[in-house]
Amino acid sequence: MKKVKFIYNPFSGENVILEQLDNVIKIHQEYGYSIVPYRIDKESDVGEALDCIDDKYYYILIAGGDGTVDSVVNAMKERNINLPIGILPVGTANDFARFIGIPHDVGKACVQILESEPKQVDIGRINQKYFVNVASTGLFTDVSQKTDANLKNTIGKLAYYLKGIEQLPNFRKLKVKITSKEFEYDGHMYLMLVFNGQTAGNFKLATNANVTDGYLDVIVFKAVSIKDLIPLFIKVLRGEHQDSSKVIYYKTKELMIETLEDIATDIDGERGPDFPLHIECVKGGIEVLGIKQ
């Protein structure tokens, strides 16, 4: 039997994966694969899960949200491990898995992964770290980092929204300088996102994103007057924000972001690096199983 390294986060989402462990093993055995599990612990380095990888392993199966996938991909890159990955979307936020068409049902996701061929997809690199879905900075970008894990497991995505409301008193415009081949901006903004995927927190923002085109989709929400915020938010809900003069949306392979503001960065729900930021698309940077696009 070929081996599959199964890395699962028992704290993701509503702990769904804990009820599905036997099902994951059963389905893989039916397809002729042996599962070798590794349980992510809050105190352990996820890279330890990859120490035993050899040529007997067919792929790496990751059960968790975007942050878990991000952590495993970074550990793989650090160790030059080029195996395909499969994703079981059991986290609070599963934006990237949803984008590539992975079912929420664990059993169906396993079958879809096992009956597919690996495809090369792009990933992003921000300074020396990688991201699979989105890198962001500005207001509210560290909401996921500040949201209690138990609260996320109890009330899901609502926990993010509640934490975001807590940060409203800090609402202010931010001065940034963005430099790229296609576009330059030196001005004020509220929020900036650099997408490899399409959605963040279930909001479909990067409507033109393609995970195999070798480009990242950059979205900047400019600082606008309070009276313009509600109409802009309505445009976001309708997916019409890309046509707004209050929003910058373009594609690029590489960009620089500079600021003197004291603001956080976020990559797939985890803390990102400090400024200045050099962000680039790594075309075909990883192989993924189960893609339906």
Which residues carry out catalysis? 270
In whole angstroms, what is the distance from residue 52 CA to residue 29 CA? 20
Nearest to 79 by CA among 57, 46, 56, 38: 46
CA separation, residue 161 to residues 146, 155, 165, 169, 255 (Å): 12, 11, 6, 14, 29
Going by C-alpha positions, the residue among 190, 195, 196, 175 that lies closest to residue 247 is 190
CB atoms within 10 A of CB 248: 18
